[in-house]
Amino acid sequence: MKSLYETLPPVEVGGRRLVGRVLFGLLVLVAILVGATAGLLLVYTTDLPQVDALEAYRPSSITELYDDHEQVIGSFALQRRVVVSYDDFPPVLRDALVSIEDKDFYRHSGVNFVRILGAAYRDVTSGGRLQGASTLTMQLARNLFLSPDRSFHRKVQETMLAIQIERRFTKPQIFTLYANQIALGHGTYGFEAASEFYFSKSAKQLTLEEAALLAGLPKGPTVYSPINHPDRAQKRRNLVINAMLEDGKITAAQAAVARSAPLALHLAHDPNSLAPYFVEEIRRYLENKYGADQVHEGGLKVYTTLDVDLQRAANQAVLDGLAAYERRHGWKGHLENVVAEGMVLDKYFHPDWDDEPEVNGYIHALVTSAGTGIATLKFGRYLAALGQADVAWTGQKLADILKTGDVCYVRILTLGVNGAARVSLEQDSGAQGSLLAIDNATGGIKAMVGGRDFNESKFDRVTQAMRQVGSSFKPYVYTTIIDEGASPDDTVLDEPVSFETPSGPYSPHNYDEKFEGIITLRRALAQSRNIPALKLANKVGIKSVIDYAERFGITAKLPPYLPVALGAAEITLMEQTSAYSVFPNDGVRVIPRYITRVTDYEGRVLEEDFPDVKDVISERTARIMTSMLREVVLHGTGIAAAKLPFSVAGKTGTTNDFTDAWFMGFSPTMTCGVWVGYDEKKSLGAKETGAHAALPIWMNFMTVAMAGKDAGNFQAPPAALHAVAQKVDTPDEAPATEEAH
């Protein structure tokens, strides 16, 4: 009888051998694949960043500047980011982001393999690159550690990092890191900064449609920008809303209302635009002390002396004053025309349009069409029209002064929610103005305007412009003589005089070409008489006068020539204003300061500044000079300011040919200086004195600055003063230029 083995067909034995060989081959193949995979993972992970660093990770943050009431006035940042906690992101925003970017965020372990396989299939069938499979965790890994290029190598690293991140951090922690890190367009990073930029409010206050709009931006902040591409942004927003509806996060009724809502942006004003010259001074100081990286990435808190309300008043006063000056001198034209320069109207964008316009603000506008009776203008997203009545002040016909493509200068009268605006035609002939206001008690700079338009000229006419100060220099002459014991009731002879100099006779004159004979020092200063000032300077010696000016904080090198007494000396507005604060401060000068305190990201104080006080003149001299400068306002060249409902004193200044107009003045609590002129030192025009061009700006600012405040009163000077300033006609050295008023 045959065994069972012997009865088996030969083919079955061969089949077992074949199966064994196949199984062995498969095992070898699996081993090769495992080995290859391990090798690839080893290669791709040798330079993989350590996610441990995330525990101490702090993203680049904004350095913010605050005014004296802790309102934001400026910021410095490479990435505009405001870091907040998980609870600061409202549920509606979290739901919107998860629905559109990563539906399984709270369920997966960092990688969604189903999405990866689906994306890989699409890539293979379409012949494209890997796309569309990243979870929020993978996006976070890419943003923090990897390059943005799309490659298999990067995708593997992204996956490995995502798995590590998920193992070490909770979902709320991962979401917070992502939501603070992601780029959202127009220089904003993170949803808090984006909410503040696009809607002028914190993320906690976002509505459904607003949250959906922001949640749609990570896919393409530039492509879906609601500013540059509102149609695309709205479609993307509605896609997010639909995704939320599919996920059951909102009801159909809520979705319908949100989809029908318009893009109601409320763009935040650039805080740096309020006091750009002040902010720029602080930037230079901080970078010099702490370094650019710390300033632009370190999240410093800088507490300054500025007052937002006073700064707004200063901006308005300077611009209104320059507009009044321009109208006094008629239409000059010479407008830039973008059509003539080969530009396309629809493509033109003026730097002024970067910031949101404000009512009563001044802006450059593009003439999009011009006819015989009307011209249409555009600035930013606003449209306006000008008729003949609106340009009547020019004395010309509308068709003759505005052409299609012209870039004109206008004042904004109204702004409508529908993009319609009303404007008045103004002119920018190049005239400049600057203003500085200092708190007498602390030396804190409360307002600072360095020019008409920071976008067009970053040259700071407060700290950088050296200009002749005209008669505003004369108080140093009178301070010198008073400090030597003279009285404001002493007399001096105002008469024709000639001084012999090495270059020949110097025969000065008064502004009005008249002479008053014997007058008191008080009246001579109030009426800004040139001859008395020169005689007094000649009596005490011009070098003594210069020494006194230096004690007041004037650092400019002043030539020892007699005409310096009339203001033939170039000084900055910063130094001149600071010097004048000595008078209401009873002879003490408080060094001007911008900053009170700087803290780091953790709140540690890096520096704290306190008033720096220097004695300059005696209390007696300071009070006498204050009373004399008060006379300038009550009965002299600054009499227009006498109508102010609080005590002020000061001095006008005008240089030869009306190239520089000044008014330096003060109340018991604040000192303010104003300069008006052209950068190239050309004439402002006939009769454009300090009293005419600068004083109105000063008055408008001080009216706002003192409103609702106790301005106080000046301290009375000593009662008994007896000394005589004798008339002396001794020659001095060669003259420079002569002051006019």
**Residues belonging to the active site:** 101, 471
R_g of the chain, CA atoms, integer Å: 36
Identity at 174, one-letter amino acid code:
I
What is the pairing mode between strands 517-520 and 491-494?
antiparallel
Sequence-distant contacts of 384-387: CB under 8 A, at least 24 apart: 384/410, 384/420, 384/421, 384/422, 384/423, 386/423, 386/425
Q: Which residues contact 130 (CB under 8 A, 6 or more apart)?
A: 119, 120, 123, 150, 151, 152, 155
Q: CA of 568: how far to CAs of 55, 403, 467, 684, 740, in Å?
A: 64, 44, 9, 18, 10
3-class state of residue 353 by DSSP: helix
In 3D, which of 515, 467, 428, 459 has the Cα closest to residue 664?
A: 467
**Chain-centre distance for alpha carbon 342:** 32
- CA 45-50-55 angle, 5° bins: 155
Host H or E run for residue 123:
helix 113-126
Host H or E run for residue 426:
strand 421-426
Reduce the secondary structure of 70-92 to three states and give it as a string.
Answer: CCEEEEECCCEECCCCHHHCCHH
Instruction: Characterise 265 by phi-psi region: left (phi > 0), alpha (psi -120 to 50), beta (else).
Output: beta
DSSP state letter for 444: B
Reduce the secondary structure of 3-50 to three states and give it as a string.
Answer: CHHHHCCHHHHHHHHHHHHHHHHHHHHHHHHHHHHHHHHHHHHCCCCC
In order, the DSSP letters of 654-719 are E-GGG-EEEEEEE-SSEEEEEEEE-TT-----TT--IIIIIHHHHHHHHHHHHTTS----PPPPPS
What is the pairing mode between strands 406-415 and 421-426?
antiparallel
DSSP state letter for 61: B
What is the pairing mode between strands 188-189 and 80-81?
parallel
Reduce the secondary structure of 584-652 to three states and give it as a string.
Answer: CCCCEEECCECEEEEECCCCCEEEECCCCEEECCCHHHHHHHHHHHHHHHHHCCCHHHHHCCCCCEEEE
Q: Are 638 and 695 in contact (CB under 8 A)?
A: yes
Identity at 175, one-letter amino acid code:
F
Cα–Cα dist 526/632, whole Å: 4
Phi, psi of 233, deg, nearest 5:
-60, -40
In 3D, which of 221, 178, 220 has the Cα closest to residue 198?
A: 221
Host H or E run for residue 501:
strand 499-501
Q: Are 316 and 702 in contact (CB under 8 A)?
A: no
**Chain-centre distance for alpha carbon 22:** 75
